[in-house]
Structures are given as C-alpha cells and as structure tokens.
Amino acid sequence: MPRAPRKEQTGRLTAITLDEASIGRSGREVEHERAVAIYDLIAENKFRPQGHDGGPYALQLGISGNRLVFDIRESVGTPVVAHMLSLAPFRRIVKDYFTVCDSYYTAIRTATPDRIEALDMGRRALHDEGSRVVMERLKRKVDLDFDTARRLFTLITVLHWKG
C-alpha cells in the first residue's frame, strides 16, 4: 500500500522534465542554464492544479506547435491534467528580456554603475512582467505564488535561448 505524501510535499513540484522530442537538446551552456532553472524551481515552489488535492507533482514541459504543454502528473506518474498555453503572449517579453540581458552583460564589463543598475532594473521589470503573464495564463488552471511564476518564467526563457 503506497504511503501518503508528507504534508510538506503536497502542493508542490518535485520533478520537472523537458520533452526532448519537442524541445530538443542544445549546447552545453544552454543545457546548464536549463538545469539551473529546473533546480531552482524544484528547490522552492508552490504548485497545485486547481481542483486537485495532493501531490507532490511532476511536470513535463513540451512544445506542440505554438503552444507550451504542461503535462502535470503525480510524482508516481499518475496523470492529473495537461494544459496547453499559447506562446504568443510570451514572445515580445522574452525577446525584450534577451535584449536587455545582452546589454546588461555587456555593460558589466565597461559601463558605469548607474548604467548597469538601470539595465538591471529593466531586466527585473521584464522578468516581473513575464511572471505576471505566467500567473495570468495559469490562473484558472494551477494555484501558484509569484515566486514560483518567476521561476517558471525563467525556465520558459531558457527554453527559447539558443546560446
């Protein structure tokens, strides 16, 4: 008879995998960033599919056409629900985020502290905007907090990064 999950394990993600068939693999640097994003998300999150009391959960992310697929399962593999989110609302934010990040990392080497701080504030503002889009797109599907949405947005950006 399976044991009931510990209370601190319910309502959270304990595993995240990427569907290599739809997302593919990338270079070493991109794979490292993906692994870090997944590690950070698993380390601390609040994640519960609406109408489902339980967990812990495993999440497989994939891409189908122009949609991000959230395949949510219990950690033992039992399917809970799959959601497909359009990637369109993320395109501009992710593009702008990469542009500002590139400027920020270039500025670190040569710019004044004021310029670096301004770029960092812009980077954080775009990250917050992307996090709010994650929360909005999942609001009737998954209960999560802002910090979890931030970590999910980080993972979404890394899925778009080509290195």
Per-residue pLDDT of the chain (163 residues; tens, 9 = 90+): 444 445 456 899 999 998 888 776 777 877 888 888 899 999 999 999 999 988 899 999 988 888 999 999 999 999 999 999 999 999 999 999 889 988 988 999 999 999 999 999 999 999 999 999 999 999 999 999 999 999 999 888 877 765 4
Sequence-ordered list of residues with C-beta below 8 angstroms from that of 70, at least 6 positions apart, any chain = 59, 61, 82, 83, 84, 85, 138, 141, 142
* Model pLDDT, residue 146: 96
Please check whether residue 78 is in contact with residue 56, taking contact to mean a CB–CB distance below 8 angstroms: no
Q: At what angle do helices 88-110 and 113-138 cross, to 10 degrees?
A: 160
- Number of helices (H), then strands (E), belonging to the chain: the values are 5, 6
The string of DSSP letters for 110-134 reads: HS-HHHHHHHHHHHHHHHHHHHHHH
Sorted by where each begins, the domain ranges of the chain are 7-160
- Collapse the DSSP code of 64 into the 3-class scheme (helix H, G, I; strand E, B; otherwise coil) and give the result: strand
Q: What average pLDDT does the structure give for the chain?
A: 88
pTM as predicted:
0.84
What the block records as the tokens of 89 is 């609302």
pLDDT at 8: 57
Helix 28-43 vs helix 146-160: crossing angle, to nearest 10: 170
Tens digit of pLDDT for each residue in 10-54?
A: 899 999 998 888 776 777 877 888 888 899 999 999 999 999 988
pLDDT of residue 95: 92
Q: Backbone dihedral region of 49: left (phi > 0), alpha (psi from -120 to 50 degrees) or beta?
A: beta
